[in-house]
Homo-oligomer: A and B are copies of this chain.
Amino acid sequence: MISERQKEIIDAAGKILTESGIGGLTTKKLALEMGFSEAAIYRHFPSKEAITLAMLEYLRENMHGRLSALSANLGVEERFKAIFFSQFSFFTRNPHFVVAVFSDGLWEESDQINQAILALMQTKMAFLLPLITDGQSNGTFKSDVSAEQLVHLVLGAFRLQMFKWRVSGFSFDLNASGTQLIESILTVIKN
């Protein structure tokens, strides 16, 4: 488990990453954001890489927890919506973590970070793919395109939405336009 301080540092790192990009995430800025010295950071993390890894791991666990908690008693379409509403709601409350969604740019020389990014994507896939497959079985979703391709369409649209939100400086209501996007997606993939 991570401590309170570690969570604060992870938040600060996410904020800096989202605001200034990867080149902007330095130990100096991190210390400034935390309000204490650079050296103090190393009381809580062994390295800068460990901070990034902890951030990705935290986001994975957080998403897994949220999506696991969603009611399994609803129909396929309602569960589909619930997944994305949970995501849009989380990022509205934590815009500084948007960076994690298109964390492809974090890709560097560290294999560990690469694996953490893949684990994040796979966790989401693990919720979406069986749901789409169920929807195809019971006739809710189209079956003339494979479940994998449908997931690809949905995930791609979601990621692009998050990208646009960030580029706009979080200036529009993500919940509202996210709802519209989900409606459009459903219109297109439903039978």
Residues of A within 8 A of B (CB): 17, 19-24, 99, 102-109, 114, 118, 142, 144-146, 149-150, 152-153, 155-161, 163, 166-167, 180-181, 184-185, 187-189
Q: How many copies does the complex hold?
A: 2
Which residues of the partner chain B approach A21 to less than 8 Å between Cβ atoms? 22, 105-109
Complex: how many Å from CA A181 to CA B108? 26
Contact B22 A105 (CB under 8 A): yes
Partner of A156, one of B158, B180, B187: B158
Complex: how many Å from CA A21 to CA B52? 15
* A-B interface, 7 closest residue pairs, ranked by CB to CB distance from nearest: A105-B106, A21-B108, A156-B156, A156-B160, A156-B157, A103-B105, A149-B184
Which residues of the partner chain B approach A188 to less than 8 Å between Cβ atoms? 142, 145, 150, 153, 188-189
